[in-house]
Structure 1
Amino acid sequence: MKPRIGVYLSEPVAARLAVAAQCPGTTKSAIIEAALAHFFEPDHDVEASSVDRQLNALNQNLEQLHQELRIVSEAVALQARFLLAVTPPLAAADQPAACTLGLARFDEFAAQVTRRAHLGTSLIKETIERVNSADPAHLATQPVMQKGPTRFTHQEAKGVGATVAGNKAECSPVARGAGVDREPDTRADRTAAGTILRPLLASWRARGQRSRAFSTDWLLVLRVFLPFVSAYYLSFLFRTINATIAAPLIYEFGLGADDLGLLTSIYFLTFAAAQIPIGILVDRYGPRKIQSVVLMAAAAGAALFAISDNFWLLLLGRALIGFGASAALTAGLKAVVLWFPAEQVPLLNGLMIMLGSFGAVTATLPAEHLLGSIGWRGLFELLAIASVGCALAIFLLVPTGTWSFTVKGTTIGLRMIYSDPRFWRLAPLSATCIGTAWALQGLWAAQWFADVEGLDRSELLRNLFFMAIASSAGALVLGIAAQKLRRHGIGPRPLLGLVAVLFFIAQLAVILRVPLSSSVPWMIVAACGAATVLSYAILADFFPKELAGRATAALNVFHIGCAFLIQYLVGFLIQYWTPQQGHYPEVAYQIAFAVNLVVQLAAWFWFIIPVPLRGGGAGSKRPL
C-alpha cells in the first residue's frame, strides 16, 4: 500500500504531465515517482550556481513587481485626484470643448504618473503629509496638475485619446462638472481606470512575449528593412558613380566640362522634380508599391545608359535613373514608421542612412575594379539587373499591410510650410551647403584630384573612397552630437551654423591649396554633406508632426535642386578656360569654387541674423 500525497503543480507543468500520461501503460503517479527517484539519486547534485541563478531571477522578479505595484498605486492615486477635481457646470453647447480639454488634462495625467514613478515621489505620502500639516481650505486651493518633463508615447496617447473621446460616459462628468459632493459613477470609474492603465498592461504583455517579438522583429528586418536599405544603397551608388566613370566617358564621347556637369547633374534635376509627387503617392498607396514601380525606371535608365552611343541618350538614361532613385529614402523611412515600433524608428532611420551611404563607397574602388574587367557599360548592365532584383524583392517580400493610406490637406500643408519665414531662414544655408557637398563629392572632387592635384587613377579613387567613408561617419557623428547637445539645452540650429563654418574653412583650404594632405579638407566636405540630419531636426521644431513629412520633402527639393545647379554651373564656369594637355587649369576650379563659396557665406549670414519673425504658417511667433 503506497502512501497518498497531494502535490500542487503550475498549469504548464500539469498540462505537460497530462500529455505524458496519455501514453499506454503510463500514469501520472508513475511519472512523478520516476522523476523523484531520479532527483534523489546520489549522483544527482544541484549545483550552487543554479540555485544562485534562480535566487537572482526571483529577486529581479520581486524588484519588477515592486516597481509595477508602485506605478499602479500612483495611477490609482492620481485617478482619484482627477475625479475629485471641481469644475463649474457647463452648457450642452460647451461640452465638446470640455471633452477636448479633458483629453489635454489626460495627457498631463499620464505625464504625472510616469514622472512620479521615475522620481519615486509618492502622491499618497505627499497627500497624507499635507493633510496633517494644512487645513482643508489650503488643500482645496492646491493646483490639480504640475508640469512634468515626461509623457507617454505619441501612439499611446493617441490610442487613449480615441477611447476617451468615443466614450460619452467618461466625457460627460467632465462636461457637466463633477463636484466633491457627488458620488462618482462606478462604471465610468472602472472604464476610466482601465483606459488609463491600458498602456501599462500592454507593456507587461509585451515583456511576457519578448522571445516571440524578437523573432518577429528579425523577420521584419529581413522582409522590410533590408529590401528598402538596398534601394537606398542603389540610389547613393547611382548618385556618385559618375565621378568614377568620368574619365572613360570623356575619352569615348569627347565631353567638355559643361557637358560632364550637365550629364551628372541631370540626376538631381529629375530627383528633385519627383520629390513632392513621390511623397504624396507613397502616403496614398504605400511604400511597397511605389518603390517597386519607380525603381524599375532606374533599371530602364541604367540599361539605356549602358547601350547609349551619343550624349543625348546618356542624358536621357541618367535622367531616368534620377527619377527611379527619387523614392528610395522617402519610401524607406515611411516603411520603417509603418512596420516597426515607434521606439525603434530613430535607430533604424540612422542605420538606413548609414548603410545606404555605403553606395558611395562602392562607387569608388570596388567600381574601379569592375571597370577594369567589364567596362562602364557592363557596370551599368549589372546596376540595371540589380535594380530589377531590388524592385522584385520589395514587391514580393515586403508585407502588404492593412493600413489605409490617405492624404489630406496636401496643398494646404505645403502652403503653410512655404509661407513660414523660418523655413526661408533655414532653406538657403541648408541647400547651398548640402547641395555643394553632394555636387562636389559626386563629380568635381574627382576632377580636382585629376586636374589640379595631378593624382593618378589609384590615388584619386582612394581619396574618393575616404570621402565616402567620411560621409557615412558624418551622419552618425552629427546625429549623436545633436542628441547629446539637446540634453544640455542646445538645439540643432547652433550646431548647423558651426558645421557650416567648418565646411567653409574646408573649402577655403581647398581653394588656397593649404599645405595639407589633399584628402583631409575633402573628407570634411563629404562629412558636412550629412548635415541633413541637423536640417531635418530643425524642421521638426518648426512644424507639427502631421506636417513633418511634407516639410522634409519641401526642404529636400532645395537640397537636390541646389546640387543640380551647382554641379552644372561649376562645369559651366570651368569650361571657359582652355584645357592644357587634357586638364583644366587650377585657376578655373578656384574661381568656380570661390563664387559658390560667396553664395554660401551670404546664406550663412542670412541664417544667423537674429530678426524676430512676424508670423509663421504652422508655429508660434518666435525669433530664429
Structure 2
Amino acid sequence: MSGGGTTGGSARLLPSDPPGGRRAMAVWGIGVAVYFVAITYRTSLGVAGLDAAERFHINASELSTFSILQLLVYAGMQIPVGLLVDRLGAKKVLTLGAVLYTLGQFGFALSETYAMALGSRALLGCGDAMTFISVLRLGSRWFPARRGPLIAQIAALVGMAGNLISTLVLARLLHSLGWTPTFAGSAVGGIVVLAVLLVFLKDHPKGFEPPPAPARHTGAAFVRRQIADAWREPGTRLGMWVHFTTQFPAMVFLLLWGLPFLVEAQGLSRGAAGDLLTLVVLANMAIGLIYGQVIARHHAARTPLALGTVAATALMWALTLAWPADHAPVALLTALCAVMGACGPASMIGFDFARPANPPERQGTASGIVNMGGFTASMTTLLAVGVLLDATGDNYRIAFASVFVLEALGVSQILRLRRSAARRERERMVVSRVEAVHVPV
C-alpha cells in the first residue's frame, strides 16, 4: 500500500499515523464540500455552452477559450498550490480558493461581455485549483495511510456529484430562470461552504501536528529543490502521465463539448443529451468505489486498471466516430458514456503512484505535479476540438479524433516509466519497514 508501505488490514499503525474515525470524517467532509462546490462551478459551462455562444455571440473556438483559459489557470496553479499546501496547510489554501471561485461565479453571472466572462472563468479556475490538492492533504493528515486510495476515490466521487448539480439542476434553472439568476444563485453555495470551513475545519487532529518547517524551508532555492525532488521520483512522473492519459476524455466531454456533440452531431434532444451526461457522472461515482476498493486490496492492479480504462475508452470512441450512419445508435452512445465514467476514477490512480514515492512534507508538491497531467491534456483537447470544428465546418468525427493522439502519447510514457517506478517504490517500502521496526510504541 501507499504511504510508507503498509498493506491491507493487518498493517499496524505507526505512532505518526492518524487514527481516522468520525471526527476525521466530519472535518475531511468539510473540505470535500468545498471541492464539491468547485466542481459544480467548473462544470456549469458544460450545460451552458450553447447559451454562452448565443449570449456572447461567439464561435466554437471562442467558446472553447472559456474552458481552455479556466484549465490553463488551473494547470498552471497546481505546483504553486502544492507548495502552498505544504507550507501553509489545507485550511488557509481552501479558504482562499473558496473566496476566489465564489467571486468568479458571481462575475460570470453578471458578465455582459466576452472579455468580462473570460476574466471571471479565469478567477474561478484559480480558486478551483486550490481545492483538490488541499482535500488530499486533509485526507493524509486525518486518516491512516492504508486508507489513502479509498479516501482519495471517495473525495473524487463526492466532487463528481457536483456534475449532477450542473446537469440536473443548473441546466433546468438556466432555461427557466435565465443566465444571471441561475449563476448568481449558484454562487451562494460558495459563501455557505466558506463560512463552514472558517469555523469548523482543522488541518490535523490534536496530537498529530506536523513538525515545524525548518527555517531553511523558505525562499526560491527551497521551492526549486522541492519541485526537483518530487519530479525526480519516477512515481511522480508516472502518476502525472496516468492522470494525463485517463482523465481528459471525460473531462472534455463534461466540461464543454459533450452537449454540443450529442445535440448537433448525434441529433439528440437536450433532455436526452443531459441524461447521457448524467450517466457519465453516475458511472464515475460507482466505478470510483470499485477502483478504490480494488487498489486498496491489490496495489499491483493500478497499472492494469489505468491502461484498461484507456483501452476501453479508445475503443468506444473509435466505434462511435467510425459508425457508418450519420448518427450512432443510442445504445452505443450510452455505452460510450458509461465507459467514460471510468476516466475519473482511473485518473485518481495517478496520485497513488506519487503518494508512496514522496515523503509527507512533499505530498502537496507531488500531487500538484500529478494533477497538472489531466488538466493539461484536457486543455489541449478542448483547443484542438474547437479549432478542428471551425476548420472542418463542424465535423465532430475529425475533431474528436484528437483524443487518440493524446492517449497514444500518454500510454507510451506509462509503459516507459512503469518499471522504474515499481523498482523505486519497492526500495522505499523496504526502508519504511526497517524504520517501522525501530519505532517505539
TM-score bracket, shorter-length normalisation: 0.7 to 0.9
Q: 1:220 to 1:542 in 2, by over 3 A?
A: closer
- Which of 377, 383, 406 is the matching residue for 1:568? 383
Residue deviations 1:246-296 (CA, integer Å, cap 9, x gap):
121122222211011111222211111222222222222222222112211
| Most deviating of 294-303 and 521-530 | 521-530
Q: How does 1:538-617 map to 2 (within 5 A)?
A: 538-544=353-359, 547-578=362-393, 584=394, 588-608=395-415
Kindly, what percent of the aligned residue pairs are identical? 20
Residue of structure 1 equivalent to 2:349: 534
CA distance in 2, matches of 1:337, 1:595: 36
Structure number with the higher helix fraction is 2
Q: Which runs of 4+ in 1 moved over 6 A?
A: 614-619
Q: Answer with 1 or 2: which has the greater Rg.
A: 1
Residue of structure 2 equivalent to 1:244: 47
Unpaired runs of 5+ residues, structure 2, are 429-441
Give TM-score scaled by structure 1 length: 0.59
Whether the 8 Å CA contact 1:420–1:616 is kept in 2: the answer is no
Whether the 8 Å CA contact 1:371–1:379 is kept in 2: the answer is yes
Give TM-score scaled by structure 2 length: 0.82
CA distance in 2, matches of 1:576, 1:593: 13
CA distance in 2, matches of 1:287, 1:423: 21
Aligned residue type for 1:521: L
Residue deviations 1:106-131 (CA, integer Å, cap 9, x gap):
x9xxx9xxxxxx9xxxxxxxxxxxxx
Q: Would you say 1:328 and 2:131 are equivalent positions?
A: yes
Whether the 8 Å CA contact 1:297–1:323 is kept in 2: the answer is yes
Residue of structure 2 equivalent to 1:460: 273
Query: How far is 1:543 from its partner?
Result: 4.4
- 3-state SS of the aligned residue for 2:178? helix
CA distance in 1, matches of 2:249, 2:379: 9
- Which of 5, 13, 28 is the matching residue for 1:153? 13
Residue deviations 1:147-173 (CA, integer Å, cap 9, x gap):
xxx6532336x89xxxxxxxxxxxxxx
- Which of 164, 181, 186 is the matching residue for 1:383? 186
- 3-state SS of the aligned residue for 1:327? coil
Q: 1:603 to 1:291 in 2, by over 3 A?
A: closer
- Which of 11, 14, 37 is the matching residue for 1:234? 37
CA distance in 1, matches of 2:124, 2:36: 13
Whether the 8 Å CA contact 1:497–1:608 is kept in 2: the answer is no
Query: How far is 1:318 from its partner?
Result: 0.5
- Which of 65, 84, 95 is the matching residue for 1:292? 95
CA distance in 1, matches of 2:153, 2:409: 31
Residue of structure 2 equivalent to 1:274: 77
- 3-state SS of the aligned residue for 1:576? helix
- Which of 356, 367, 371 is the matching residue for 2:174? 371
CA distance in 2, matches of 1:328, 1:369: 27
CA distance in 1, matches of 2:246, 2:239: 11
- Which of 490, 495, 502 is the matching residue for 2:312? 502
- 3-state SS of the aligned residue for 2:268? coil
- 3-state SS of the aligned residue for 1:364? helix
Residue deviations 1:226-253 (CA, integer Å, cap 9, x gap):
3212111112112221111112112222
What is the aligned-residue RMSD (CA, Å)?
Answer: 3.2
Q: Would you say 1:445 and 2:287 are equivalent positions?
A: no
Query: How far is 1:547 from its partner?
Result: 4.0
Unpaired runs of 5+ residues, structure 1, are 1-106, 112-117, 119-149, 160-205, 207-212, 579-583
Aligned residues, how many? Answer: 407
CA distance in 1, matches of 2:138, 2:235: 29
CA distance in 1, matches of 2:421, 2:36: 42
CA distance in 1, matches of 2:203, 2:167: 36
Whether the 8 Å CA contact 2:243–2:349 is kept in 1: the answer is no
CA distance in 1, matches of 2:415, 2:202: 46
Residue of structure 1 equivalent to 2:431: none
Whether the 8 Å CA contact 1:493–1:538 is kept in 2: the answer is no
Q: 1:410 to 1:250 in 2, by over 3 A?
A: same
Structure with larger RCO (C-alpha < 8 A, sep 6+): 2
- 3-state SS of the aligned residue for 2:392? coil
Whether the 8 Å CA contact 1:542–1:619 is kept in 2: the answer is no
